[in-house]
A and B are shown apart, each in its own frame.
Chain A
């Protein structure tokens, strides 16, 4: 019985997240359009509101092309690895008090593990496509994830130290429900490092080197078409949502807001996630892509030392205060 209930919850979560992913693409296209003094999608439905559904139907019915020289099993598995890894990270996110599928004590580590696994999908896709563009995209993704995973992990150590737990629910509870309890202020350096690493981790502009369309056609997804391409796309957007959730949980006080909304507890959580999504899109509309060596410079020479210093300072404060 319990398992059935859990299954229902999983399906509900899946549907809600998929809907949000679909409309995140619409949101992005509209915002970028208006930032470029265009209109964005306008034709399908009122102000293009049905565009994501039309896109989904189109990519679902498109021909699934597999290159002759591709490594077939890996080529087929790569998008699935990406999507599954990203989606399983959703299981540990607390959307509201008690609204979590798996309240495990290593929640934060689990999310890290899953988002790193997702980059395996990208690397394998680049390898299996047997195309130089995909391969370069895959290699870049690997290097990028390795360097930014470190700074991201280190940036959250401060939060772990302050909350004294890796359980995401406990981290939110440790911040209390007032705005001054948020870890954004005491961990502002950590947040800065986290935010930049988050952009790099989700392959977003200005760190979208794995799929740099101006130089690598479409990077790791060059050889993919139809549904498999859409799966990569979904994985990217779910990754954005997961990272935005982690940022919300660790720095912005999760579901807590100025007042509690009884009829829809995750309201503040959703609003904060959408604020993050807007930031992602806003930055995409503004910044050009970093050069590869600048990306590595930023990761290794700036973010990792900053994160390490942050850990030391936080640990000292913790030892002195407690």
Chain B
């Protein structure tokens, strides 16, 4: 992969990766995608374990594949592992990021779901839900923004921005299926138009 860093990760690095994903899990209100900016900050900006291109392609591949988009977490882990050596570390990376992201939030949700279900009329529960809404929406928009910024070729930037802007408009205003627009983006990129 272009510009992919070669890594020598030791036990402490893997442990640190796991601990960070445990934290991301607890921060993932509104879905795993809202922690993508935080993963980007940690993995690309701080640790340099992934290149910009690898980070954004991980999300693009997960959006294209069938299944919940939480799977971008698996692809990110897979790519860190690939950078660190090969197939066995790729599986290790996937295992660490997925269990790290799922463990705290699933335990919390499993225990809390009944409580919330039975107490949805409580003032505090409703205030929490209502208060989180604008924050979750802003986090989702910030994720899209960071992904759009991740394309680093300045000479071509304007056309990628235009593609992101028009894709936003299409998804917002029409009922066109996701795969059609992803295919259009792939074709434009394949022929070097964007």
Question: A and B, one complex?
Answer: no
| Chain A interface residues (CB < 8 Å from chain B) | none
| Chain B interface residues (CB < 8 Å from chain A) | none
